[in-house]
Amino acid sequence: MLFTSEIFIFYFLPIVFILYYILSFSRLAQNIWLFIMSILFYAWGEPVYVLLMLFSILINWWTCIRMEKHEDSEKKRKHVLIIACVFNLLILFFFKYFGFLLTSINGLLDIALFPEITLRLPIGISFYTFQAMSYVIDVYRKQAKVEKNPFYVGLYIAFFPQLIAGPIVRYTSIAEQIRTRRSDYAGMSAGISRFMIGFTKKVLLSNNFAILADLIFNYSQMGNEQYLVPASLAWLGMIAYTMQIYFDFSAYSDMAIGLGKMFGFDFPENFNYPYYASSMQDFWKRWHISLTSWFREYLYFPLGGSKTKNTDIMIRNIFIVWMFTGIWHGAGLSFIVWGLWHFIFQLAERFFGYGQNGKHQIIMRIYTMLVVMFGWVVFRAVDLYQAYLYFMNLFALNNNGFFSEEALFLVNEYAVVIIIGIIFCVPTAPSVGAWVEKHCKSFVQTILQSGYIVVLCLLFIISLSYIIRSGYNPFIYFNF
Amino acid sequence: MKKTTREKICATIFMCSLFTFAGMNAYINGGSLIEILREQMMEVSEVSQLYDVTVAVEDEITESMLVKDAFIEIYGGTQLLLDKQEFNNFSFVKDDDGFLYYGKTYNTIDTEVETYAKRVRRMSEYVEEEGKKFLFVMPLDKNISEFVSSDSVLPISDVNPTMDLFLWRLNQNMVNTLDLRSSLVETGLSYEELFFKTDHHWTTLAAFYAAVEIVEEFEVVWGDDLDIDDFYMDIENYELEILEESALGSMGKDVGILYSEGYDDMQLLTPNFETDYSYTYYNSSGKEILRTGTFEETLMFTEYLDGSYENTERVYLNTANREDIIINNLNPDGPKLLVLRDSYFSPVAAFLSPLFSEIHMVWATSQENPGVDFEEFLKENIDEYDYVILEVYSHNLNDYSFEFFQ
C-alpha cells in the first residue's frame, strides 16, 4: 500500500488513527493494534510474502530469546548471533541476489549452466531485514534488552510508516518508545504537518520529475537507431532524475517520520538537504542518513573503521562499506559500480584533503553535485551499457548534437516544477523562516504563518486531485 | 504565531476535513466496495490471485470516489494555471487553439497492420465470392497534416504513417478502400468544422461529407449511382443548426471543463425532406429497443441535448450501440448495406440511411462487443445485403478490431 494512494488516505489512515486513540487506555492494546494494521498494510501489497516477513519476525524474536538463555556463555551467544545474521542475509540474498548471481555465472561461462530464476522481490525486504539485524546485534552487544513480547518485536520490524522504505531505525533508538512513548496534540500536529509536506513533495514534485526522467531515460534506452537524444535533453533527464530520487525518497521519509509522530514515535531524520553538500563525505552525512549510520555501526566500525593505523586496512574497510552500499540498493553490476564511484571520491577526499578546509564552497558544491548526478545516471540506467550510452549522449559523443526543441518544450512545460524543485532541494525554507523570525514584526509573522497554513492545505488538496486523476505514482525506493 | 500553533491549526484542519470526507466516502461507497471485495474473493483459487483482489478494490475506490469530478477539475485547473500543454503524463496534449489530442512522445509505425490487411483481404474475397460488394473505409484522424504541423514539438499521437502502411497493404491486396483523409480536407471545411476540440470524434458536418464521399466511391468503383437526383447527398436539403458551447467530448470529460477551456459547438443536421424509419438497436447491456418515426424521432437522440453537455456527441444513433438495424420505410426497394464499424460511423450511417432500404451495423471490436464472432455474423447475414463496409478508426487499428478471417 502506498502512502500516496486513495486507499491509504481515505480508508487505512483514518481507521488506524481513530482506533489507536480510542485504545489510549492501554499501551499494549495500542501496540497490538498498530502491529496488526502494519501486517495488513504490508499484506495489501504483498499478500504472499507477508508470511515471509512474519517468519522473519518470529525467527529474530526467538534467536534473541535464545541469546538471553545463554547469557553466561559468550560463545553460545555468538553462535546464536551468527545463525540469526546468516538467516537474515540468506533471505535477502535468495530473494534479491540469487537470480542475478545465476544469470551472471551463466553469462560469464557463456552457457546456460543454471536455469533462469526470476523471483519477485518482496517489497521493502532490504529495509526490514536490516532492522531485524539491528535488533539481534543490539541485543547481542547488550545495548538493548531482549523483548519477550513477539508483538513488540514485530511492531519494531514491521511498523507500517517505515516498513517499506525506512528510515532504518536502530533498535536501541526505539526500544524504549515502544513501551513508554508520549502522545500529545503538539507531537501529533507536528506529525500531521510533516506528513502533509511529504505527501505534497512526493505527488507534486517527485512524480512530475519522474515523468521527465522516465521519458528521457527511455529515449536513451531505445538506442541511437531509434532516437538520438541530444545532449541538452540528456542533461535535463539527468537533472530530473536527480530531483526525482531526492524528492521521492525524502518525501517518503517525511511521511514516515510524520506518521511515526502521529502515533507518538520519534524516528531519526533521514535527509538533511544533501544537494547542499560541499563534498562527497558531506553528501553522505546528509543523504539516507539511517542507512549510512547502519553501515557505519554494524559494518564499518566492526571492521576497524578509520581508526586503524594501517592505511591499506582503512582503504579496504571503506571499499567494503561502499561495495555493500551499492549491492544493498540492487542486484546488478550498475549498483556495484555506483557504490564504487562513491568510494573513489570518498577516498580521494580523504587522501587529498580537498573540501575539508571550507574554501571554494561554490566550486565544491558544483563538484559534489556533478559527482552525485553522474552517479545517478549509473544508478538509473537499466545496465552499464545503457549508462555508457547515456554518458555519450550527455557529452554529445553519439552524433546527437546539443540543442533539442523537445528539451526546450519540456523545460517550458515543467518550468514551475523545476524552479520549485531547485528552491526546495537546498535549505531555502529554513533560511527564509529564520530570516522572517529575526527581521519581521510579529503581525507580519502571523500573516506569513497563516499563509503557510493556507498554502499547505491547498497543496494537499491539489495533491489529492493528482492521485485521484493521475495514475503516475512510482516509488523508487519501494523496490529496495 | 508559533510554529507549534501553526502545526496545530494545520492538524486540526487536516483531521476535520480528511476524516469527515473519508467517513462520507466510506458511508456512500463502502457497500459497493465490500461487494467488490466479496466477489473478487470468491474468484480466488490460488494465493497469487490475491494481488488481483487488491487491484480491483483500489480501482473501485478510485472510480467511485466522492466528488471525483471536482478533483478532476482541480487537477485540470492546476494544469491550466501552470500553462501545461501536456496532460497527465502525455495522456493528452492541447495545442495553442485549444484542441485536445491523444499524446504520444514517440510515434512508431505499427507493422502489425500488415497482418490485419491480410484478414481484411480474406474478408473482401469472401464477400466478393458471395457476389456482394466490399469497401474498406478509413476515417480521418484528428491529427491532420494540413492543420496540425508535423514540425510541431507537441507530442501528439500520429497514426498517419500506420494508416498509410495499412492502406498501402490493402491496395496491394486489391481491396477496395476509401481514404477519407484527403477528400474531407478538400471539402474546404475548417478544422473546427471537422473536429470537436474536446473529443476524438469528427463533427456532424464531417460525418455528412464522409457519407457523400462513400456514395461517390460506390459510383466510381462499381458505377452504382445511389443518389440519382443528387438530392439526399446535397447539404442544401438539410437544416443546419449550431448549438453553441453545448458539448463536452470524451477527452474533455477526462481533462475537465476548466482545462478544456469551455465547451464545443454542436452541429445538428436534420433533413428537410420526408422520412420514415423503423430503427432497432441493442444497447451496451444487450437490450433491444425499437424506435419508429421520422429521422429526428428515430436516428437522433435529442434527449442528449438536455443542457447537461455530457454525451452530446452521441446525438446520432447513440454512437455506441452494439448492433443497429435501420429500416427506411420510404425506400423499401433500395439496396441493403451491412456495416462492421466503430463509433465513427454512427452519424455517417444516419446520413446514408435515405439511400438504402436497410442498414445493419455491428460494432466490430471485441472490446466493445465481447463474445460476438464477427466472421460468423458476416457469414450469417451476407445473403440479405448488397454491400458490405468495414470501417475502422485510426486508433482502433489493433487486434481487437480484426478478430476475423485469421
**% chain B with pLDDT above 90:** 57
The ipTM assigned to this model is: 0.88
Which among B10, B84, B88 is the nearest to A469, CB-wise?
Answer: B88
pLDDT of residue B151: 63
- Answer whether residue A108 shows pLDDT above 90: no
pTM, two decimals, is 0.90
Cross-chain Cβ contact B50/A48 below 8 Å: yes
Mutate to test the interface with B, among A8, A10, A195, A222 (most CBs of B within 10 A): A10
Residue B187 has a pLDDT of 86
Looking at chain B, which residue has its C-alpha nearest residue A47? B50
Tell me the chain A residues in contact with residue B40 when contact means C-beta distances shorter than 8 Å: none
pLDDT of residue A294: 92
Burial of B218 (0-12, 13-18, 19+ CB in 10 A): buried
Q: What is the pLDDT of residues A63-75, one digit of tens each?
A: 999 988 888 888 8
Q: Percent of chain A beyond pLDDT 70?
A: 98
Which pLDDT does position A352 carry in this prediction? 83
Tell me, yes or no, if B283 comes closer than 8 A to chain A by beta carbon: no
Query: Rounded to an integer, what is the distance from CA A422 to the centroid of its chain?
Result: 20
Mean pLDDT of chain B: 90
List the single residue in A10, A190, A409 with the smallest CB-CB distance to B25.
A10
- Give the burial string for B159-193 (b: 16+ CB within 10 Å, else e): bbebbebbbebbeeeebbbbbbbebbbeeebebeb
CB contact under 8 A, B11 and A409: no
**What tens digit of pLDDT does each residue of B300-312 get?**
998 887 767 677 7
Q: Output the average pLDDT for chain A.
A: 90
| CB–CB contact B61 A450 (8 Å) | no
Residue B335: all three cell numbers together? 439496396
Strand order across the beta sheet in which B100-102 lies? B86-87, B92-94, B100-102
Question: Is residue A471 pLDDT above 90, yes or no?
Answer: no
Q: Is the pLDDT of residue A479 over 70?
A: no
* Residue numbers in B near A13 (CB within 8 A): 18
Q: What gap in Å lies between CA B101 and CA B91, rounded to an integer?
A: 9
Neighbouring residues of A51: CB distance < 8 A, sequence distance ≥ 6:
none
pLDDT surpasses 80 at A307: no
DSSP label of A9: I
Q: What is the pLDDT of residue B150?
A: 64
Per-block mean pLDDT, blocks of 10 residues, chain B (406 long): 85 93 92 88 82 88 90 94 92 91 87 91 94 94 80 85 93 93 86 91 93 95 92 94 88 92 90 95 86 94 77 80 93 94 93 96 83 86 93 91 89
Per-residue pLDDT tens digits for A143-201: 888 998 899 999 999 999 988 887 898 888 888 898 888 888 999 999 999 999 999 99
Which residue, among A123, A218, A469, A470, would best test binding to B if mutated, counting the most B CBs under 10 Å from its CB?
A469
Smallest CA–CA distance from B30 into chain A, residue = A11
Interface of B with A in 2-21 (CB under 8 A): 3-15, 18-19, 21
Q: Which of B3, B5, B10 to mutate to test the interface with A (most CBs of A within 10 A)?
A: B10
**Nearest-by-CA chain A residue for B1:** A446
Model confidence over A327-371: pLDDT tens digits? 999 888 899 999 999 999 999 998 887 767 777 888 999 999 999
Name the grid cell of A403. 540543442
Does residue A475 or residue A143 have the better pLDDT?
A143
Which position among A70, A79, A288, A329 bears the catalytic label?
Answer: A329
The per-residue pLDDT for B285 is 77
Residue A342 is among the residues annotated as catalytic for this protein: no
